[in-house]
């Protein structure tokens, strides 16, 4: 559900997440997100995870995944936006969903997280992480191929033809993809 909750930007309502999509997935009437790579094995082996959020309402679904990761024994550090940035989650949204009680640490950034361009504490946390989980198309575009050999799991909905061609999945498909 954390992947299937990825919504389109407000300006693209034709590709937006609708709760009936979630219900159809839960009822087994719609396909589950496309898994590319050993998603479950990669998550199970991770002990220190850096989780990059996306849209505000999605973090409620992210909390389900974060809870499961914590139950598997992983340390989870959350990165959210410092202030308004499109419709992305901010500290206010994270606190609304009690994310501060679910994660080990919360970090804020202006815009997208870019390795080497953040506070020294966040940079150190990134370096010590053995897995990055990145939500949304923006994080995919900003970070693809840029994580210096880190394992990353991208969770997104394919919303445009260039991403469709890059991932190899049709527009509208929810994808969970491992990159090493």
Q: What is the pLDDT of residues 28-40, one digit of tens each?
A: 888 888 999 999 9
Q: List, for residues 59-94, the tens digit of each pLDDT value.
A: 888 999 999 999 999 999 999 998 777 788 889 989
The pTM for the full model equals 0.88
β-pairing verdict for 152-157 and 131-135 = parallel
**Domains of the chain in sequence order:** 13-179 (3.40.50.10880)
Three-state SS annotation for the chain: CCCCCCCCCCCCHHHCCCHHHHHHHHCCCCCCCEEECCHHHHHHHCCEEEEECCECCCHHHHHHHHHHHHHCCCEEEEEEECCCCCCECEHHHHHHCCHHHHCCEEEEECCCCCCCCCCHHHHHHHHHCCEEEEEHHHHHHHHCCCCCCCCEEEEEECCCHHHHHHHCCCCCCEEEEEEC
pLDDT confidence tier of residue 9, bands split at 50, 70 and 90:
very low
Q: Residues 93-116: what's their mean pLDDT? A: 92
List 133's β-bridge partners, or say none.
Answer: 51, 153
Whether the predicted pLDDT of 27 surpasses 70: yes
Rounded to the nearest integer, the mean pLDDT of the chain is 86
d(CA 118, CA 80): 12
pLDDT confidence tier of residue 4, bands split at 50, 70 and 90:
low
Q: Are 82 and 108 in contact, with CB atoms under 8 Å apart?
A: yes
**Structure tokens given for 25:** 């997935």
d(CA 29, CA 180): 32
């Amino acid at each position: 559900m954390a992947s299937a909750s990825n919504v389109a930007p407000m300006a693209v309502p034709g590709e937006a997440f609708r709760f009936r999509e979630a219900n159809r997935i839960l009822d087994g009437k719609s396909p589950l997100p496309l898994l590319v790579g050993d998603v479950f094995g990669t998550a199970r082996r991770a002990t220190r995870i850096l989780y990059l959020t996306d849209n505000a309402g999605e973090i409620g679904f992210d909390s389900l995944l974060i809870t499961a990761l914590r139950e598997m024994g992983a340390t989870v550090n959350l990165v959210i936006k410092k202030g308004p940035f499109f419709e992305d989650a901010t500290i206010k949204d994270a606190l609304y969903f009690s994310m501060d009680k679910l994660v080990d640490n919360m970090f804020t950034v202006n815009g997208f997280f870019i390795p080497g361009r953040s506070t020294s504490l966040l940079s150190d946390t990134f370096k010590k992480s053995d897995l990055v989980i990145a939500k949304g198309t923006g994080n995919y575009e900003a970070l693809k191929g840029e994580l210096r050999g880190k394992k990353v799991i991208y969770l997104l909905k394919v919303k445009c033809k260039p991403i469709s061609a890059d991932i190899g999945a049709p527009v509208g498909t929810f994808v969970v993809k491992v990159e090493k």
